[in-house]
Amino acid sequence: MENVRNDGKIISSLQPLASFEMGRDDVNVVCTYGKISVWFGRQVPELVIGQILISISNIDASAVHEYDVVCAFETITDYEGCGYVLVSYARSENGYRATFNVPFSNKTALLHMADLILKELKNKDVTIDVYWTGDDSDIMRLSDELHNIDGWKVKQINYKDDA
């Protein structure tokens, strides 16, 4: 069975997906079974960042982003107060190296993460990896949700059977 998208791309539901790439000039999303990689260009609007994070949350609330930071020990509790889940921490040369999971089920954590992305975008492009349990139907549902963003299109579809 094939579906024709509003952007003219034909998507086969008979072959399992290897990867599904979509986006626009200032943002790119690549979905696979275990991971969603999102590249944000420096010119991406704040609204689009929020739409992408919330769309992922709507499709798979169990998705997480792993966030590493070197900070003062007291700052660790600030991150936890924003909904981040501390995975590990260790003393380092400049403070404490902490690893957090940012749960997509927590809107406060997503809002804080969006703010951090915006701050980083002032200096450089940002790429985040989101770990999820999505399958072909979840990828298609995410694609449908993201198609509401102006200028959004499917860029490339790779099937597992492709050579």
pLDDT value of residue 163: 46
pLDDT category of residue 6 using cuts at 50, 70 and 90: very low
Mean pLDDT over 107-118 rounds to 97
> Looking at the predicted structure, is the pLDDT value of residue 10 above 80?
no
Render pLDDT for 118-162 as a digit per residue (tens, 0 to 9). Answer: 999 999 999 999 999 999 999 999 999 999 999 999 999 999 875
Greater confidence (110 vs 161) lies with: 110
Per-residue model confidence as pLDDT tens digits over 96-109: 999 999 999 999 99
Burial 46-72 (b: 16+ CB within 10 A, else e): eebbebbbbbbbebbeebbbebebebe
Question: Rounded to whole angstroms, how far apart are CA atoms 29 and 43?
Answer: 16
For 51-61, the pLDDT digits (tens) are 999 999 999 99
Quote the pLDDT of residue 11.
Answer: 59
Q: How far apart are CA 78 and CA 84, in angstroms?
A: 9
Backbone φ, ψ for residue 148 (5° rounding): -75, -10
**Which position has the higher pLDDT, 5 or 113?**
113
